Amino acid sequence: MDHLTTTSGSVYTLQQQFQSRDVLLDGKSLRIHHMAKHIHPAIDGDVPVKNPWNKKVSMSIVDTKTYIPYTGQAQSTSTSDTFILHNFGDYLFLYPFDNMQTPVDIMRFSHAPICHDFRVPMLSVQPTNLVLALLSNDVLVFDPLHGLDTFSHHNRNGAVCCSPITTTKWVQQSHTEFVVAHENGAIYVYDHTFPDESSEFMDVEQPEGEFTLLLQREDRTNPVACWHVSTQAIYDVSFSPNGKYLACVGKTGALIVFQYHMQRKIAMMQSHFGALTCLAWSPNSLYILVCLLNLL
């Protein structure tokens, strides 16, 4: 078992490794769910879709006690209540935490998955909805642990915002709302139970702080809101564990913190060496850890 010791003395242990690439190359007899029917394939002659800034692979973790295998899917012998989902190429792989050698499900899309996030259920028997952003700028919400037939589809072919998506996250303590960040510096708020319309029919608000807030004029219509927080790409967003704050980082090197429900900017830190690529909150919602892309 491999160990990593940091300069501060912290020791990290590699417990398990993903075998997704080997699973595909070995051609193991696992059923693959082809999800292309939900997304319109690219038309010959179209401008190639821009690759994400970091070509990142995302990982999402969720606990559930009601996992239901699909018909024809490999039956998992795992007793784990924790599942890990990650993307590789055009595929999504779903693994039980205690056995990462064999995925319990593989999903293939006509456009590569970019980022995703599980909604943390209040109870282990509640739905485990996943919000998934694709390279085509389409956003899907579905439950990979309980059925692929029910889903919602947003920003179809970039109809709401055509700027490349960088990350997506569920709103903390919300059952239905999620946010999607883009390379144009905008963060859109969606409700997966509402239909999409257009961002053209939104009213401009002037909240406290240096950013622009657009609110949907029509009831029960997406996008619910749009936060223009930067002139350049937003690379990561994260809600505090207590649900009060939204933090974001991006290409400008700024860390910005908002009181989410009050729609107010309350703090900002500026990096002088390069972009900030990702962030994470402490469990008590008091501290933020950021990663720096050093261009020196």
pLDDT for 80-129, tens place per residue?
A: 688 889 898 888 988 888 877 778 888 888 888 999 999 877 766 677 88
**Ordered structural domains, the chain, with CATH:** 18-159 (no CATH), 195-296 (2.120.10.30)
* H-only helix segments in the chain: 20-26
**Identity of residue 282:** S
CA dist 290 and 276 (Å) reads 7
Query: Does the pLDDT value for residue 255 go beyond 90?
Result: yes
Rounded CA gap, 278 and 196, in Å?
Answer: 29
Q: Which helix (H) or strand (E) holds 161?
A: none
Confidence of residue 233 (pLDDT cuts 50, 70, 90): very high
Q: Which of 5-9, 205-209, 271-275, 292-296 has the highest mean pLDDT?
A: 271-275
Q: Is the pLDDT of residue 8 over 80?
A: no
Q: State how far the Cα of 196 lies from the Cα of 221, in Å rounded to an integer.
A: 6
Q: Is 51 exposed, middle or buried (0-12, 13-18, 19+ CB in 10 A)?
A: exposed
Query: Which is nearest to 73 in space by CA: 28, 140, 20, 39?
Result: 28
Q: How far apart are CA 2 and CA 6, in angstroms?
A: 13
Give per-residue pLDDT as tens, 23-78: 666 655 566 767 754 555 555 445 445 555 555 677 888 877 766 655 544 454 45
Mapping DSSP to helix (H, G, I), strand (E, B) and coil, where does residue 142 land? strand
- Say if residue 223 is preceded by a cis peptide, omega within 30 of 0: yes
First and final C-alpha spacing in the chain: 35
Place of tokens 């800034």: 53
- The reported pLDDT for the residue numbered 74 is 47
- The DSSP bridge partners found for residue 167 are 181
Element (H, E) at 88: strand 82-88
How do 59-63 and 82-88 pair as beta strands? antiparallel
Tokens 């860390």 correspond to what residue?
Answer: 255
pLDDT at residue number 211: 80
Closest to 113 in 3D by CA, of 77, 146, 88? 88
Average pLDDT over residues 263-292: 92
Residues contacting residue 275 through CB under 8 Å, at least 6 positions apart: 235, 249, 250, 251, 252, 253, 292, 293, 295
Say which DSSP state 222 is in: B
CA angle 51, 57, 58 (to 5 degrees): 120
Q: Which of 119, 106, 136, 135 is nearest to 60 (CA)?
A: 119
Counts for the chain of helices (H) and strands (E), in that order: 1, 23
Sheet of strand 254-259: strand arrangement: 234-239, 245-250, 254-259, 264-270
What value, to the nearest 5°, has the Cα angle with vertex 232 and ends 226 and 233?
Answer: 75
Is residue 4 over pLDDT 50? yes
